Structure 1
Amino acid sequence: MEASHLIVLLLIGYIVFTIDNHAKAFPQPPILVLIGIGLSFIPFFSSMELTQKTLYEFFLPALLFISAYKYPSAALRKHGGVIGLLSTGGLIVTVGLLGGAIYYLASPFLALPFIGALIIAAILAPTDPISVTAILKQASGDETIADIVEGESMINDGTSIVVFTTLVTIVSSGKDLSALSVLGDFLLVSLGGIAIGLIFGWLVCKAVHYTHHKEFQVMLSIVLAYGNFFLAEALGVSGVLATVTAGIMLSWEFTHTNKEDHYRESLDGFWDIVEPTLLSLVFLTIGIIAPKYLDIKHLLLAFLIFIGSLIIRYIVIQLSLFTLPSTKKMGQSDALLISFAGVKGTMSVVLLLILETVNDENIQFYISVSFIAILLSLIIQSFGIYPLTKKLSK
């Protein structure tokens, strides 16, 4: 990305986020993506690219850290059971059921291997409701559903990349992995990432009190967001879960920190600028690169997969809410809102770009169908969540 591209994209992002402050139910990500698709036809932007490395190693750690440290620890304590269930076991069940549905839906179009159907399902499993949670709170006045959706999306990113990596390993190696070895790898990568996040999150929570200079405190948060991520990745465990865990640790620390330290205010002053900046660049660039991945002949199948993903997510959420005593009182409308708020976004695109490096004859098909389904989710669900919430609230 050249400097001239950067300045133009930031200016567009500024305009979109400014409009958002004056408009009702205005979801920025799909607006930015649609603008990006329009920009892709302008020669000035033809040289722009978005690599898996840039998205995964530069944009993702900061966005994950921001969502984690801003997430209220009281909400995590209150909804921890349903968040944990949906973002781990619920996601794995979703991948299995959606993979089966994709395998069945794709049969009239091509002979899709079942492992390929599972890979597409793993790409579409993580949620990224960046602007949807704010719209949910605005439309319903109830923070419960928004907190569950946001907490789930924060953790299921880590689960999804572990599941996806395991499936891609099977395709790349051509070998069948035993259920025991898959479970062992999953636990090692997940728990290892959480452990690193706990350790370094705790260290930073203690170290931050050694200085009252807000500039240095902000510097330390940058080190935590990125250093934690890269250390975990270097050790072969989940950098995503490490960063999320460290951010949650920091959120917990805010409830025990002297307000005179003004640590939260210092961090918010910095990261509240970083977040819209990164979101503008990410979603505009996703839109700009989208046309080269889209094949219109896959539109019908992608739409059927998108509808199937909504139905399966609703079933899994309904069962999860019924299973836990703390959420049994939540009804079908709550399950429907949580389902519909599970928009596909940044992590799904990361997984899709990782797939480009895999040597398999069906890879381009996987990428095209997945990308169309992601865009359908981003546009339809983001724009539909406000009227749906208002209707169900009545």
Structure 2
Amino acid sequence: MNSNQIIILLFIGYLVYTIDNKQKNFPAPLVLLLIGIGLSFLPFFSSVHITKDIIFEWFLPALLFISAYQFPFAHLKKHAGIIAALSTLGLLLSALLLGSLLYVLSGPFLSLSFVGALLIASILTPTDPVSVVSILKQASKDPKIADVVEGESMVNDGTSIVLFTVFAGMYLGGESFSISSFLYDFALVSIGGVAIGAIFSWIVCRAISFTHQRQYQVMLSIVLAYGSFYVAENLGVSGVLSVVAAGIMLSYELDGYIKESHYREYLNSFWEVVEPSILALIFLLIGIETTNYLDFDHWIFVGLVFLASIIVRFLVLAGIIKSFSAWRSEFNWKDISLVTWSGIRGTMSVALLLSLESEYGSGDSTLISLTFGAVLLSLIFQSVTIYPMSSYFEKKAR
């Protein structure tokens, strides 16, 4: 990908987001995805490819940091219990149930091993609600749905990588599954990542207090976003959870301890330019890559994979929420349905697919294609229908 292609893609992103700013509930990521599919047929973009390194090392730290530091700490504290439950227990249950269901459903269509089904499920469990959170906030007066969906997405990106790594090793390397080993690795990677992010954020927040120039304070936020990610990854723990923890702690410090009253304004003025630029590139690049992964004959099964992922997510959410009286009284069936449908698969799922190719070899092209197809269906159908669904529930509640 050369500089001319990047500039053109960014300009397309500018045009789409300009329309998005003028039209309510305009699904900008979906439009960018479809434009990307169209661009894939132009010879000028034939050399454009998105890789796992581009997403993980360049795009993901910034997007996670933005979500984390902009997430109100009071809202996170209020919904910490349910966010943690959905991002850990909920994610694990979803992967196991979805994998089992896909293994059963695959019989008439293709030969899919149980471990292969679990691998597909682990790729489809992380959520990426970037295209629906703003719509949820507009359509509903109650922010709890958007808060839970966004909070769950931030945390489950990290936990899903651990799950994916285990199942990928079993599928491609013949490694056996040990529950004790999995729990140990999961705890080590997760706790280590959070600790690195918290330490990094504490150091940067102290530095901010001694730095009063706006441009240098913003520079420190860049160091925090990418430094916490890279240091954690190099130490063998979760870079994703590290940058999320760093962003959350910065948000906490901004609310209570950092005396620079305009620092959040300075941060927003910078990162609110970075975020749409990255999102435009991501969804356009995913669209351009789409045609490379969808040349296969199992679209009926892809549809079943998509439907199964929705059903399993609904059942797991309902089971967890209805098991606790406090959550049961706070979240009704309409809320559960909205949280379910808002769990769109996107950037992280694509990153895991690309990781399957780059780090573990090409693997099974059919498995990669059908998983990519399910991600595409999720992006299209859930993005388009989330506003009508949320508006309908809001009207019925009046």
Give TM-score, length-normalised by structure 2.
Answer: 0.97
Structure 1 residues 76, 359: closer, same or farther in 2, change over 3 A?
closer
Q: Which amino acid aligns with 1:299?
A: W
Query: Does structure 2 conserve the Cα–Cα contact (< 8 Å) formed by 1:302 and 1:370?
Result: yes
1:26 counterpart = 2:61: no
1:140 counterpart = 2:140: yes
Q: Which amino acid aligns with 1:89?
A: L
1:373 counterpart = 2:374: yes
In 2, Cα distance between the equivalents of 1:80 and 1:324?
A: 14
Could you say which residue in structure 1 is the equivalent of 2:231? 231
Could you say which residue in structure 2 is the equivalent of 1:112? 112
**In terms of mean alpha carbon deviation, does 193-202 or 278-287 score higher?**
193-202
Could you say which residue in structure 2 is the equivalent of 1:332? 333
Could you say which residue in structure 2 is the equivalent of 1:11? 11
In 2, Cα distance between the equivalents of 1:254 and 1:36?
A: 38
In 2, Cα distance between the equivalents of 1:156 and 1:260?
A: 32
In 1, Cα distance between the equivalents of 2:334 and 2:190?
A: 32
**In terms of mean alpha carbon deviation, does 322-331 or 243-252 score higher?**
322-331
* 1:296 to partner: Cα distance: 4.3
2:22 match: secondary structure: coil
Structure 1 residues 331, 247: closer, same or farther in 2, change over 3 A?
same
Could you say which residue in structure 1 is the equivalent of 2:289? 289
Could you say which residue in structure 2 is the equivalent of 1:344? 345
Could you say which residue in structure 1 is the equivalent of 2:77? 77
* 1:360 to partner: Cα distance: 7.2
Query: Does structure 2 conserve the Cα–Cα contact (< 8 Å) formed by 1:81 and 1:324?
Result: no
**In terms of mean alpha carbon deviation, does 203-212 or 230-239 score higher?**
203-212
Give TM-score, length-normalised by structure 1.
Answer: 0.97
In 2, Cα distance between the equivalents of 1:331 and 1:341?
A: 15
Query: Does structure 2 conserve the Cα–Cα contact (< 8 Å) formed by 1:126 and 1:157?
Result: yes
* 1:358 to partner: Cα distance: 5.6
Structure 2 runs not aligned, ≥5 long: none
Query: Does structure 1 conserve the Cα–Cα contact (< 8 Å) formed by 2:73 and 2:251?
Result: yes
CA shift digits 1:310-368 (9 cap, x unpaired): 01101111112112333111111100000000011110000000111365786211110
CA shift digits 1:122-144 (9 cap, x unpaired): 11000011120110111122211
* 1:291 to partner: Cα distance: 0.3
**In terms of mean alpha carbon deviation, does 131-140 or 254-263 score higher?**
254-263
CA shift digits 1:51-106 (9 cap, x unpaired): 11111111111111111111010110110000000011100000000001111111
Query: Does structure 2 conserve the Cα–Cα contact (< 8 Å) formed by 1:127 and 1:153?
Result: yes
Matched pairs, number: 394
Structure 1 residues 167, 351: closer, same or farther in 2, change over 3 A?
same
Could you say which residue in structure 2 is the equivalent of 1:363? 364
Matches within 5 A, 1:174-253: 174-253=174-253
Structure 1 residues 258, 167: closer, same or farther in 2, change over 3 A?
closer
In 2, Cα distance between the equivalents of 1:360 and 1:109?
A: 24
**In terms of mean alpha carbon deviation, does 135-144 or 343-352 score higher?**
135-144
In 2, Cα distance between the equivalents of 1:139 and 1:296?
A: 38
Structure 1 residues 90, 44: closer, same or farther in 2, change over 3 A?
same
Query: Does structure 2 conserve the Cα–Cα contact (< 8 Å) formed by 1:149 and 1:338?
Result: yes
In 2, Cα distance between the equivalents of 1:361 and 1:71?
A: 37
CA shift digits 1:260-306 (9 cap, x unpaired): 53110110010000000000011101100110111241211111110
In 2, Cα distance between the equivalents of 1:36 and 1:172?
A: 31
In 2, Cα distance between the equivalents of 1:5 and 1:361?
A: 27
In 1, Cα distance between the equivalents of 2:8 and 2:326?
A: 48
Could you say which residue in structure 2 is the equivalent of 1:45? 45
Q: Which amino acid aligns with 1:64?
A: L
Query: Does structure 1 conserve the Cα–Cα contact (< 8 Å) formed by 2:296 and 2:366?
Result: no
In 2, Cα distance between the equivalents of 1:67 and 1:345?
A: 15
Q: Which amino acid aligns with 1:241?
A: L
Matches within 5 A, 1:125-136: 125-136=125-136
Structure 1 residues 87, 236: closer, same or farther in 2, change over 3 A?
same
In 1, Cα distance between the equivalents of 2:14 and 2:386?
A: 24
In 1, Cα distance between the equivalents of 2:388 and 2:21?
A: 19
Could you say which residue in structure 1 is the equivalent of 2:385? 384
1:156 counterpart = 2:187: no
In 1, Cα distance between the equivalents of 2:297 and 2:137?
A: 38
CA shift digits 1:219-264 (9 cap, x unpaired): 0110111111011010111000000000000111111145653110
* 1:24 to partner: Cα distance: 1.7
Query: Does structure 1 conserve the Cα–Cα contact (< 8 Å) formed by 2:136 and 2:387?
Result: yes
